[in-house]
Amino acid sequence: MISSLKSRPSIMASCRGAFLGVAILSGLINLLYLSGSIFMMEVYDRVLPSRSIPTLVGLSIIIVVLYLFQGLFETVRGRILARVGAALDEDLSQQIFQGQINAPLKGRSEGDGQQPLRDLDQLRAFLAGGGPSALFDLPWMPLYLFICFAFHPWIGLTALAGACLLVVFTLLTEFLTREASKAAVSAALVRNGISEGAHRNAEVVHAMGMAPWIGRRWSEANARYLSYQQKTSDVAGGFGALSKVLRMLLQSAVLAIGAYLVIDGQATGGIMIASSILTSRAVAPVELAIANWKGFVSARQGWRRLKGLLESDARSEAPLKLPAPRTLLSLENAGTGAPGRQKFAIQDVSFELQAGSGLGIIGPSASGKSSLARMIVGVWPAWRGKVRFDGAAIEQWLPEDLGRHIGYLPQDVELFAGTVAQNIARFDPNPKSDAIIAAAKAANVHEMILQLPDGYETQVGESGAALSGGQRQRIALARAIYGDPFLVVLDEPNSNLDNEGEQALTAAIMSIRSRGGVVIIIAHRPSALAAVDHVLVMSEGRVQSFGLKDEILSKVLRSVPTPQPTEPRVSVSPPLKAV
């Protein structure tokens, strides 16, 4: 994947020409805006006094042509900005999607995790809307004010005072909506997170009658979001209304001053009308900017968040591609913890596994077994020490390159919406049919898949909802061993399996070892350790013992105290009385 730090300059460079074209078109459009004022001035000062019909017809033809060009330029400007937004989306969407996937692994995920894509949509919508046009029109305000001063200083001063008031309104809008807009985004993240969690756990919510309580939490979060949104809308809407009133008042004031100047003989009727139109045009970009301020603030905040997301996932350069690991997995005093926290979950873990080895990791709950699995497969980076494949630290691999050599079955099995075949093949765009079937047979799920309505083309539904827990786990096992990866890590792979499934799991583990792969199994049930040759015991985030299975298990069993038998309680019944 191209690094985001390198791609951003290319994005800006590719858009620079488009923005330059928009600036040129904006200049032409603002010059053409003068045509209406000039037309009115010529009609009042030339056509009416001379009563010349040919002059009126000629001026009318010219103004129609100019208006047509103005409409054409505005259409082209709008289309350019819309395509700039689309180009920005095309260049950034994949990086933002990857950053969104990586965010939970770095402790940065909030709400439902969809905010980065919403920020990109907001930015694209803003570029395609009227906000950027107003910003490109703002620099031309001095031209209109200069022409007003050229007509008469009083007219210029009146227009300048009105423009200054509108600029003050714009600054106040920015100042008063900044914090409320940020708070609204945070409240929206909380609200969306509650909604997503309820959707994901709909069965639990319904079965245990939690819907009213979850609904109350959502309502409270939604009320906070609406209050911040309402505050932002009230401020922006209030200043927007004031700006409209001020613009109309300003236009009338200029018209009144122009009328006085006409009466006093200092101006003509054409200047009076043209000044009113020019003043209205001078303040129109400011008024439009205020009206679009909410979108501008949202787009600016969204871009800052996207920029931070892209910078956090930036890579200076792609590492050299390494050959596929084939011989050794080693950990050197490695330790890590949950993303976003400062506390180690596991520390000082060291061991080596040669090709063909099988390791079972056991220990009490919360001893760090699953954390160790996440560190080994690279989901959690090692805060200390190293995880190495054939001597190369895991940081020297691109995740997409190393991922082809790793199979991972997490404790909480999730399948993606798609077909069974797509899930087994990890959504590879060019999957190999024989590899899919081989993985399914290795997981002993081939016959079960054939019994599904559409076989391998059966849609599993969102999160695999169309399948049972055991079916999902066995399909996920087939996904883990698809493509014969060097390392396969299975976190409690038999939690939803029956006896037949456990036999298939043991056969799959033996198959992986026989072809020279490494298998790591985290288990609470001893049956999952039938096919491993090494055992590692974890306790309180540290390795307690590591070695051959029989030796370690015998030590563990000797260390477990044998429960002392208790004498049975004898209940003596009273003798029956003869009747």
pLDDT tens-digit map of 316-349: 566 678 888 889 999 999 999 888 777 888 999 9
Specify whether the backbone of 575 is left (phi greater than 0), alpha (psi in -120 to 50) or beta. Answer: beta
The residue whose two tokens read 């928009």 is 22
Is residue 562 packed enough to be buried (19+ CB in 10 Å), middle (13-18) or exposed (0-12)? Answer: exposed
Question: Which pLDDT score is estimated for 113?
Answer: 63
**Dihedral sign from CA coordinates of 272, 277, 282, 284:** positive
pLDDT tens-digit map of 376-434: 988 888 888 999 998 888 888 887 788 889 999 888 888 888 889 988 998 888 888 89
Distance CA 171, CA 181 (A): 15
Distance CA 362, CA 359 (A): 10
CA Rg, the chain, in Å?
Answer: 36
At 1, the pLDDT band (50, 70, 90 cuts) reads: very low
Q: 362 forms bridges with which residues in the sheet? A: 537
DSSP of 491-512: ESTTTT--HHHHHHHHHHHHHH
Question: Which pLDDT score is estimated for 575?
Answer: 38
Tell me which of 229-233, 360-364, 465-469 is least confident: 465-469
Residues 6 or more apart whose Cβ sits within 8 Å of residue 522: 360, 361, 362, 369, 370, 372, 373, 411, 489, 490, 491, 492
Task: Please answer whether residues 124 and 86 qualify as being in contact, where contact means their C-beta atoms are separated by less than 8 angstroms.
Answer: yes
Average pLDDT estimate for 149-176: 83
Selected residue with higher pLDDT from 350 and 558: 350
Cα separation of the two ends of the chain: 94
CA torsion 499→501→506→510, rounded to 10°?
A: 150
Question: Which pLDDT score is estimated for 571?
Answer: 38
Selected residue with higher pLDDT from 297 and 62: 62
From residue 511, alpha-carbon distances to 27, 269, 327 in Å are 72, 96, 16
Distance CA 473, CA 496 (A): 7
Question: Which pLDDT score is estimated for 288?
Answer: 76
Distance CA 436, CA 481 (A): 10
At 5, the pLDDT band (50, 70, 90 cuts) reads: very low
Question: Which pLDDT score is estimated for 68?
Answer: 94
Question: Which pLDDT score is estimated for 557?
Answer: 63
Q: What is the CATH number of domain 4-312?
A: 1.20.1560.10
Question: Which pLDDT score is estimated for 329?
Answer: 92
The DSSP H or E segment spanning 545 is strand 542-548
Task: Please answer whether residues 454 and 493 qualify as being in contact, where contact means their C-beta atoms are separated by less than 8 angstroms.
Answer: no
Token digits of residue 214: 């979850």
Selected residue with higher pLDDT from 522 and 5: 522
At 358, the pLDDT band (50, 70, 90 cuts) reads: very high
From residue 240, alpha-carbon distances to 137, 247, 278, 294, 519 in Å are 18, 11, 20, 11, 65
Question: Which pLDDT score is estimated for 579?
Answer: 28
Token digits of residue 543: 């390795």
At 4, the pLDDT band (50, 70, 90 cuts) reads: very low
Q: Kindly report, as residue ranges, where domains of CATH 1.20.1560.10 are found in the chain.
A: 4-312
Q: Kindly report, as residue ranges, where domains of CATH 3.40.50.300 are found in the chain.
A: 328-559
**Phi, psi at residue 554, to the nearest 5°?**
-65, -40
Q: Catalogue the E-assigned strands of 296-434.
A: 328-336, 346-354, 358-362, 384-389, 392-393, 406-409
Distance CA 159, CA 37 (A): 15
**Considering the chain, what is the average pLDDT of its residues?**
80
DSSP of 36-85: HHHHHHHIIIIIHHHT-HHHHHHHHHHHHHHHHHHHHHHHHHHHHHHHHH
Question: Which pLDDT score is estimated for 565?
Answer: 47
Q: What is the CATH topology of the domain spanning 328-559?
A: Rossmann fold (3.40.50)
Mark out the alpha helices in 201-210 (DSSP H runs).
202-207
pLDDT at 26 over 80: yes
Distance CA 63, CA 261 (A): 27
pTM of the predicted structure, to 2 decimals: 0.66
Average pLDDT estimate for 339-364: 88
Question: Which pLDDT score is estimated for 7?
Answer: 44
The DSSP H or E segment spanning 570 is none
At 133, the pLDDT band (50, 70, 90 cuts) reads: confident
pLDDT tens-digit map of 189-214: 788 777 777 776 676 676 677 778 87
Provide the b/e sequence for 442-453 (b: ≥16 CB within 10 Å).
bbbbbebbeebe
pLDDT tens-digit map of 446-470: 888 898 888 899 888 766 666 777 7
pLDDT at 64 over 90: yes
* 3-state SS, residue 276: helix
> Within a 10 A sphere around the Cβ of 214, how many other Cβ atoms?
16
**Dihedral sign from CA coordinates of 426, 432, 438, 444:** positive
